[in-house]
Structure 1
Amino acid sequence: MNSEQATALVKSVLTSIVPDADYASMTPETDFRQVLELDSLDFLGFVEQLSEQAGCRLDEDDYERLTTLHSSTELLVQRTASGD
């Protein structure tokens, strides 16, 4: 998976959880969990959907990297390239 695909996937999954998510107001470094007001159940749903759709395992240790579009994209690119 390349960066564009990973970013599109992150946005798609976030939109399924927060349908009115406004990405125009966010930078790649914006903490989307805070801006979109994701509670813990929303976030777990995000992680599960992201893992399933990307075809890679995302563990609790990865949660701190799943807070911005940039870091989430980087993590997905790394995981899908290494086959984890």
Structure 2
Amino acid sequence: MTREDIRTAVLEGLSNIAPETDPTSIGDAADLREALDIDSMDFLNFVIALHKRLQVAIPEVDYPKLLTIGGAVDYLDAKLA
């Protein structure tokens, strides 16, 4: 899976939890919770969606690594390597 495939999965996951927003307009370093105005349950649903789609185990201790689009792509790319 390429980094672009991973990025697409991340953006689609964000679109599903915050359909009223355009995640492609968010910078790679922006805090997703603030940029999308999502709460902890929405963020958890995002992590679960990534786990299901990419078949990657994401322990709770690693959740902070997924707080930005860039961080999520880097983390998932490393896990899938």
Q: TM-score, normalised by structure 1?
A: 0.88
Amino acid at match of 2:18: V
Q: Structure 2 stretches of 5 or more lacking a match? A: none
Rounded to whole Å, the distance in 1 between the matches of 2:14 and 2:37 is 11
Identity %: 32
List 4+ stretches of structure 1 deviating above 3 A: none
Structure 1 residues 44-65: Cα deviation after superposition (integer angstroms, max 9, x where no partner): 1111111110111001111111
Q: Within 5 A, what are the aligned runs for 1:3-82?
A: 3-81=3-81
Number of residue pairs aligned between Structure 1 and Structure 2 = 81
RMSD: 1.1
Rounded to whole Å, the distance in 1 between the matches of 2:25 and 2:48 is 25
Structure 1 residues 14-53: Cα deviation after superposition (integer angstroms, max 9, x where no partner): 1011112223532111111111111111111111111110
Greater RCO (Cα-Cα under 8 Å, separation 6 or more): 1
Q: Structure 1 stretches of 5 or more lacking a match? A: none
Q: 1:24 to 1:46 in 2, by over 3 A?
A: closer
